[in-house]
């Protein structure tokens, strides 16, 4: 059974080569590259944004997961990150169906993990030149699909935890439904936010999702074009 699981998730042992430097050192190196314009001649707000997207990773769990599991090889690290992404996607469902969204601390956790995901997606666009080439672009598409679900469900937790949809809500399904409808920009109108805070959060949600979709399409269309030229 152990051999089957190893083969399923890690492939061949020779794929799992050792990582020479820790994730912390790599991110410090990336900060140095951006600060000294070693790989990209960016200035002004672009440079500030790139520095921010790298520096802020130190406060999120994802970097620490990379560092801990990176000691066991590159494939182990990648699989650990995948499980972490899946965990973050499942967590909002646990919060909603377990009734945990009623606690303000749970809403804070959802916002915190949501910010990590949004910063990661933005870094794929603005800091991708200093990242190691991904093992598979199909893997990145799969991970971003999980990120999209996580963002939608995290906003559902926020709507539920702060009671932003008024008294028309009959179950947590309504919060999930409203969040998905907002994420797909459909907007049926049968449920709507109450109060200024609700309206502000829905606006933030809609802008984030549209930005996510635009960045997603722009990033991967450029990658497909690059791969096409390489094949030629």
Span 58-84, pLDDT tens digits: 999 999 999 998 888 888 888 899 999
Q: Is residue 169 part of a domain?
A: yes
Tell me, what's the pLDDT at 9? 60
For the four alpha carbons of 105, 121, 198 and 187, in that order, the dihedral sign comes to negative
Span 131-178, pLDDT tens digits: 666 666 777 778 888 998 999 999 999 999 999 998 788 899 999 999
Span 7-53, pLDDT tens digits: 666 666 666 677 778 888 888 888 888 888 887 788 889 889 999 99
The tally of domains found in the chain comes to 1
Asked if the model's pLDDT at residue 123 lies above 90, the reply is no
pTM: 0.86
Q: Is residue 12 part of a domain?
A: no
The CATH number of the domain holding residue 39 is 1.10.287.70
Q: Is residue 4 part of a domain?
A: no
CA-to-CA dists, residue 72 to 6, 12, 60, 63, 80, angstroms:
13, 14, 21, 15, 10
Asked if the model's pLDDT at residue 228 lies above 60, the reply is no
Q: Is residue 72 part of a domain?
A: yes
Question: Which phi and psi angles does 42 have, rounded to 5°?
Answer: -90, 150
Q: Is residue 14 part of a domain?
A: no
Domain span holding position 155: 19-231
Tell me, what's the pLDDT at 101? 94
């Amino acid at each position: 059974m152990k051999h089957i699981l190893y083969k399923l998730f890690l492939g061949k042992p020779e794929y799992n080569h050792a990582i020479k430097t820790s994730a912390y050192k790599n991110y410090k190196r990336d900060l140095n590259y951006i600060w000294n314009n070693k790989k990209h001649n960016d200035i002004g707000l672009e440079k500030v944004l790139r520095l921010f997207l790298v520096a802020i990773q130190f406060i999120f769990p994802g970097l620490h997961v990379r560092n801990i599991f990176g000691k066991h090889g590159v494939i182990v690290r990648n699989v650990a990150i995948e499980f972490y992404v899946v965990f973050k996607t499942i967590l909002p469902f646990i919060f909603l169906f377990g009734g945990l969204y009623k606690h303000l601390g749970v809403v804070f956790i959802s916002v915190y993990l949501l910010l990590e995901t949004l910063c990661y997606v933005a870094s794929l666009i603005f800091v991708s030149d200093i990242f190691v080439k991904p093992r598979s672009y199909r893997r990145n598409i799969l991970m971003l699909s999980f990120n999209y679900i996580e963002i939608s469900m995290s906003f559902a937790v926020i709507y539920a935890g702060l009671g932003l949809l008024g008294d028309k809500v009959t179950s947590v399904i309504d919060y999930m439904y409203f969040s998905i409808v907002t994420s797909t920009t459909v907007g049926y109108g049968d449920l709507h936010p109450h109060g200024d805070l609700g309206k502000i959060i829905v606006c933030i949600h809609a802008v984030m999702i549209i930005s996510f979709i635009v960045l997603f399409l722009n990033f991967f269309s450029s990658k497909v074009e690059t791969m096409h030229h390489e094949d030629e």
